[in-house]
DNA sequence: GATGAATGAGCGTTCATTCAT
DNA sequence: AATGAATGAACGCTCATTCAT
C-alpha cells in the first residue's frame, strides 16, 4: 500500500493545522491549504479526522494537553502559594515563548460563539485550575498568610485573569503590541522584570506579606 | 433608492455588521446577509467600504469610540487613583451589559493575526489608557500613596489586564462560562460584590493603603 | 445590476441541464459543467434553483409538460379508440424525433431508486393516461367494439407499455440499437411502416376488428 | 491474503457490485464500499477490471447470461409459438421475482448514453431473441397460424417490447408503481391473471387464433 | 499478486466582489 | 450614485484510482 502517514507527517499536519486555526480561526482556515502546507493530500486528512471540526478538536486537544502539562508541573511541586505563583509566571513565560501557537489556539476558542461541541469546553479547561487556586487561597486564608477579607473564588479568578493575559501577551499579535505600548520594547522583553513586578502586584493583591 | 445612504442607513449598516461580526467572527459573517439585515444593497457597501475587512474595521472603530467614551467619562472625573479604579470597574460592568457586541468585536481583533491594516490598531486603542494609568500611578507613587517599589508601567499593564478580562467576562461566551466556573452563578451575577472584591485586589496590589 | 439572465439563457440552461441529466443521470451530471455548457456562472444556478435536485426537477417538469401536451393533443381530438391509438403513435414518433432529450429524462427517472422526492412521481405522470386508456377500453368493450373478455386495466397497461417502448426506441441509444437489430436500419427509420404494423398489432390485440 | 482471488471471491464481488449498481446506478455506486461489502481489497478489483466501467460491464455480462439462460430454457422446449409465449411470460415473472437485481442492471444500461464499450452491447443481448422471434413468426406465418399481413420483424419487436416491460414491472421501483397505478395492487400481484391477459393480448395481436 | 492507505481531480455549494442598469 | 443579480474562485468533502509494501 502507499506508505501510511508517518508519525512525523501526522505531527506536521497537526502543527500546520494548529498554525492555520490559530492564525485565522476555525472558519477562516482552509483544509485544502492546510493539506498543501503539511505536504499531505486533502483526502488523507479525512481518513484521520471525520471533518474539519474533528481536525480542529484534535489540534485543540494537543494544545490543551500541553497547557495542562505546564500547569501540572507547577502543581506537583507543592510549594507555598507565592512559590506556586512565581512558578506559574515563569512556566507561562517559557511555554508561551516556546509554543505560542498552542496559546493562540486556546485564545481562538475564547472568541468562538455557540458552535456545537463547544458547550462544556470551558469547564474542561478551566475546572482544575479554578479549584486549585481557590483551594490554595482558602488554605492560606485559614492560616492567616493572606488577607482575611478576600472572597477566595473571586481572587482566584482575578489571579487567573492575570495569568491568561500574561500568556496572551507573549502570544497574540495584538496583545504583544499592547504589551509594548504599556511598557516599551525593553521591559516587555525582560521576562525576569515582568516576573518580579508581577510577583509584587499579586503578592500585594493577596496581602501575602502578612 | 438612488440617493446617497443617509446617516441613519450607515448607522444601521454598522450596527448590523457589528452584530454579525460579533456573533460569527470575521470569516463567519456574510456581507450579503448583513446588507439584507441592514436594508441596503450589497453594492453600496462596496462604495463606502473597500472590502469586507474595511467594513469590519469601521465597525471596530465605532466600537472603540464607544469604549473610549466610557473610558473618558472616568478620566474626566479627575478623582483619586482608587476612585478612578472604582469608576472604571463600574463603567465596564455597565457598558458590557449594555453593549456586549462592542466588547465582542474588540475581543475579535485580539485573535486576528497579521492582516493588513491591523498594524497600529493597538497603539490607537491602548495608547491613551496606557499613558493615563502609568501617569496616575507615577503621581501616586511620588506622593507616597502607593508602593514605592513598583514599576508603574508594568503595574498599569497588569491593572488594564484585569479591566480587559472583566469586560470579556461579561461579553464572551467562553469567558462567561469561565467566570461562573470560578465563582458560581450567583457571585458572577453580583456586580457589586465583584466590584468590591476587585477593589480589594487592586488596592492591595497597588499598596494603596499606604 | 449585472444583466439578469434572459429567458433565452434560462432556456439554454434548462436545455443543457436536461441534456446532461438525460445523458448521465442525476448523479452523473455535474452542475459545474452544466453551467459551463449553458454559458452561465455556477452561482446563478443556485439563485434560480435551490440545489441540484431542484434543477433536475425543473428539467423533469418541463419534459413532462411537453409529454403531457403531446398526450393532450390526442386526447382532445376525442376520436374513436383506434383513431386515438393511431394518433398516439404518430405523435410519439414525431415528438420523440423532435425532442429526444425530454423522453430520455423521463427514461432516467424510471431507473432512479428510492431517492427522496421521487415517491409519487409515477402517480403524477401515469395517472391520467391510465385512467383514459382503461376508460376508453371499457366503453369500447361495452359497445362491443373490442373483445369482450379482456381485463381493460391490464390491456390498457400492455398498450401503454408499447407506447413507452416506442418512444424509447427513438430516444435511447440502447433502444435505438435494439430497434435496428430487430428490424434493420430501413424499417426502423420508416415511421409510416412502424405506425401501420403497430396498428395491426394493437388492433389485433384489442380484437378491434369486431 | 496474498493469493489470487478465488472463484468464490470473484462471484461475491460481482454479486456485491451488481447489487450496488442495481440499487444506486453506475455513478451512485462506490467502488470502495463494494470492495468492503465483498470482503476484498480495492486494489485487487483494479487487477481484474480496468476501471469502474469494466466492473459494471462484468456485472452486466453475468446478468445477461442469466437472462439468456432463462430465455434458452424456453427456446429449448421447442413448443409452438403460443406455448413459447406462455413460457416466456412465466419465466420472466419467476426470474424477475427471484433475481430483480439482474433485471435492474439490464434496465440501467438502457439509460446509459454513449459510453465507450457500450457500442455493440445491444447486438450481444438482443441479437439472439430477435432472430428467434422473427423466425418463429415467419414460420407460423407461412403455416398460416398467424395473420398473414404482419411484418414479422416488427411484430417480433413489439412482442419483445411487451416482454421487457413485463420484467421491468417486477423490477424497477418506478415501473412497479406504474403497474399498480394501471391495475391496482391486487391484479399487479396476481401473476396468473397477468399471464392469462397477456396471452389474450399477444394472441390477438398475432392473430394466433387463425 | 493482493493490500489498503494515500492521492488529487472534481464534486455541490457558498459568498465576497463586480458592474450593467 | 444605488441596485442586486451575476460571477467565479474557493470552500469542505468524496471517491475512482494508484502504488509502496
CATH number of the domain residue D158 falls in: 1.10.357
C48 strand F contact, CB < 7 Å:
yes
Q: Tell me the mean pLDDT in the region B48-77.
A: 89
Task: Look at A30-34, B81-85, C206-210, D44-48 and tell me which has the smallest mean pLDDT.
Answer: C206-210
Q: What share of chain A is helix, strand, coil (3-state, %, to 5)?
A: 80, 0, 20
In angstroms, the CA of C13 and the C1' of F7 are apart by 16
CA-CA distance, B149 to A204, in Å (whole number)? Answer: 12
Q: Does A198 touch chain B (CB under 8 A)?
A: yes
pLDDT band at D28 (very low <50, low <70, confident <90, very high): confident
State the pTM of this model. Answer: 0.89
CA-CA distance, C90 to C83, in Å (whole number)? Answer: 11
Residue D112 and residue C165: Cβ atoms within 8 Å? no
Return all residues near B63 (Cβ < 8 A) that are at least 6 apart: B18, B101, B102, B103, B105, B106
In angstroms, the CA of A66 and the C1' of F11 are apart by 31
Is residue D26 packed enough to be buried (19+ CB in 10 Å), middle (13-18) or exposed (0-12)?
buried
pLDDT band at D2 (very low <50, low <70, confident <90, very high): very low
* Residue C25 belongs to some domain of the structure: no
Query: Three-state SS across chain B?
Result: CCCCCCHHHHHHHHHHHHHHHHHHHHHHCCHHHHHHHHCCCHHHHHHHCCCHHHHHHHHHHHHHHHHHHHHHHHHHHCCCHHHHHHHHHHHHHHHHHHCHHHHHHHHHHHHCCCCCCCCCHHHHHHHHHHHHHHHHHHHHHHCCCCCCCCCHHHHHHHHHHHHHHHHHHCCCHHHHHHHHHHHHHHHHHCHHHHHHHHHHHHHHHHCCCC
DSSP string, C65-89: HHHHHHHHHHHHH---HHHHHHHHH
* Residue B93 belongs to some domain of the structure: yes
* Residue D172 belongs to some domain of the structure: yes
Residue for grid cell 504583544: A176
Q: Which residue has the higher pLDDT, A18 or B65?
A: A18
Residue in chain B lying closest to A151 (CA): B197
Instruction: Using DSSP, state whether A47 is helix, strand or coil.
Output: helix
Is the confidence at residue B69, as pLDDT, over 80? yes
Q: What is the reported pLDDT for C1? A: 52
Kindly state the percentage of chain D with pLDDT values over 90: 66
Give CA angle at D119 (D115, D123), nearest 5°: 140
Is the confidence at residue D1, as pLDDT, over 50? no
Q: Which of A20, A159, A178, A184 to mutate to test the interface with B (most CBs of B within 10 A)?
A: A178
Residue D178 and residue C126: Cβ atoms within 8 Å? yes
DSSP string, chain D: --SPPPHHHHHHHHHHHHHHHHHHHHHHS-HHHHHHHHTS-HHHHHHHSSSHHHHHHHHHHHHHHHHHHHHHHHHHH---HHHHHHHHHHHHHHHHHH-HHHHHHHHHHHH--S-TT-TTHHHHHHHHHHHHHHHHHHHHHHTTSS-TT--HHHHHHHHHHHHHHHHHHTT-HHHHHHHHHHHHHHHHH-HHHHHHHHHHHHHHHHTTT-
A93 neighbors A100 (Cβ within 8 angstroms): no
Return all residues near A3 (Cβ < 8 A) that are at least 6 apart: none
To the nearest 10 degrees (0 to 180), the angle between helices C191-206 and C152-169 is 170
Q: What is the pLDDT of residues D101-157, one digit of tens each?
A: 999 998 888 887 767 667 778 888 888 889 989 999 999 999 999 999 999 999 999
Residue C122 and residue D178: Cβ atoms within 8 Å? yes
Residue B113 and residue A24: Cβ atoms within 8 Å? yes
Q: Which nucleotides of F are covered by protein (CB under 7 A)?
A: 1-21
Q: Does C207 touch chain D (CB under 8 A)?
A: yes
B44 strand F contact, CB < 7 Å:
yes
Is residue D61 packed enough to be buried (19+ CB in 10 Å), middle (13-18) or exposed (0-12)?
middle
Q: Which of C22, C60, C111 to mutate to test the interface with D (most CBs of D within 10 A)?
A: C111
* Residue D192 belongs to some domain of the structure: yes
pLDDT band at D159 (very low <50, low <70, confident <90, very high): very high
Query: Which positions 18-77 of D are in contact with C (Cβ < 8 Å)?
Result: 23-28
Q: What is the reported pLDDT for B3? A: 59
Chains that touch A (3 or more CB pairs under 8 A): B
CA-CA distance, B103 to C104, in Å (whole number)? Answer: 60
Instruction: Using DSSP, state whether C17 is helix, strand or coil.
Output: helix
CA-CA distance, A13 to D192, in Å (whole number)? Answer: 66
Partners of A24 on chain B (C-beta within 8 Å) are 27, 113
Return all residues near C101 (Cβ < 8 A) that are at least 6 apart: C15, C18, C19, C22, C63
Chains that touch D (3 or more CB pairs under 8 A): C
Residue D118 and residue C151: Cβ atoms within 8 Å? no
Q: What is the pLDDT of residues C90-136, one digit of tens each?
A: 999 999 999 999 999 998 888 877 777 777 888 888 998 999 999 99
Is the confidence at residue B126, as pLDDT, over 70? yes
Burial letters for D85-107: b for 16+ Cβ neighbours within 10 Å, e otherwise?
bbbbbebbbebbeebbbbbbbbb
Instruction: Using DSSP, state whether C10 is helix, strand or coil.
Output: helix
* Residue B48 belongs to some domain of the structure: no
To the nearest 10 degrees (0 to 180), the angle between helices C100-111 and C152-169 is 120
Q: How confident is the prediction along chain A (210 residues), in pLDDT tens digits per residue?
A: 567 788 889 999 999 999 999 999 999 999 999 999 999 999 999 999 999 999 999 999 999 999 999 888 888 888 889 999 999 999 999 999 999 999 999 998 888 877 777 778 888 889 989 999 999 999 999 999 999 999 999 999 999 999 999 989 999 888 999 999 999 999 999 999 999 999 999 999 999 865
Q: From its phi and psi, is residue C115 left (phi > 0), alpha (psi between -120 and 50) or beta? A: beta
Q: What is the pLDDT of residues D123-137, one digit of tens each?
A: 888 888 899 899 999
**Which residues of chain C are under the pLDDT cut of 50?**
none
* Residue A49 belongs to some domain of the structure: no
CA-CA distance, D83 to D70, in Å (whole number)? Answer: 15
Q: Does A178 touch chain B (CB under 8 A)?
A: yes
CA-CA distance, B117 to B36, in Å (whole number)? Answer: 27
A39 neighbors A12 (Cβ within 8 angstroms): yes
D38 neighbors D13 (Cβ within 8 angstroms): yes
Partners of C201 on chain D (C-beta within 8 Å) are 150, 154-155, 158, 205
* Residue B7 belongs to some domain of the structure: no
**What sign results for the dihedral spanned by CA atoms A189, A195, A196, A201?**
positive
Residue D96: closest CA among D59, D132, D71, D131: D71
For B204, which of A122, A173, A207 is closest by C-beta distance?
A207
Is the confidence at residue B103, as pLDDT, over 70? yes
In angstroms, the CA of A137 and the C1' of E1 are apart by 70
A104 neighbors A172 (Cβ within 8 angstroms): yes
Residue ranges making up the domain that contains C171: 61-206
Q: What is the reported pLDDT for B1? A: 43
* Residue C174 belongs to some domain of the structure: yes
Q: State which residues between 49 and 78 of chain A bring their CB within 7 Å of strand F.
A: 51-53
Q: Chain C closest CA to D20's CA: distance in Å?
A: 11
CA-CA distance, B73 to B75, in Å (whole number)? Answer: 6
Residue for grid cell 462592542: B102
Q: Tell me the mean pLDDT in the region D57-85.
A: 87
In chain B, the number of structural domains is 1
Amino acid at each position: 500500500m502507499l506508505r501510511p502517514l508517518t508519525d512525523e507527517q501526522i505531527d506536521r499536519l497537526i502543527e500546520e493545522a494548529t498554525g492555520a486555526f490559530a492564525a485565522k480561526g476555525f472558519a477562516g482556515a482552509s483544509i485544502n491549504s492546510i493539506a498543501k502546507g503539511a505536504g499531505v493530500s486533502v483526502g488523507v486528512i479525512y481518513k484521520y479526522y471525520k471533518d474539519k471540526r474533528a481536525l480542529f478538536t484534535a489540534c485543540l486537544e494537543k494544545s490543551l494537553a500541553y497547557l495542562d502539562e505546564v500547569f501540572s508541573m507547577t502543581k506537583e511541586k507543592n510549594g507555598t502559594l507565592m512559590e506556586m505563583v512565581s512558578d506559574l509566571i515563569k512556566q507561562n513565560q517559557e511555554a508561551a515563548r516556546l509554543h505560542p501557537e498552542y496559546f493562540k489556539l486556546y485564545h481562538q476558542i475564547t472568541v468562538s460563539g455557540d458552535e456545537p461541541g463547544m458547550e462544556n469546553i470551558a469547564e474542561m479547561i478551566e475546572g482544575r485550575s479554578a479549584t486549585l487556586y481557590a483551594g490554595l487561597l482558602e488554605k492560606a486564608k485559614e492560616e492567616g498568610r493572606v488577607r482575611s477579607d478576600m472572597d477566595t473564588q473571586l481572587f482566584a479568578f482575578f489571579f487567573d485573569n492575570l495569568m491568561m493575559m500574561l500568556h496572551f501577551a507573549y502570544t497574540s499579535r495584538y496583545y504583544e503590541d499592547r504589551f509594548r505600548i504599556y511598557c516599551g520594547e525593553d521591559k516587555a522583553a525582560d521576562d525576569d522584570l515582568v516576573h518580579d513586578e508581577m510577583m509584587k502586584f499579586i503578592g500585594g493583591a493577596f496581602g501575602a506579606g502578612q
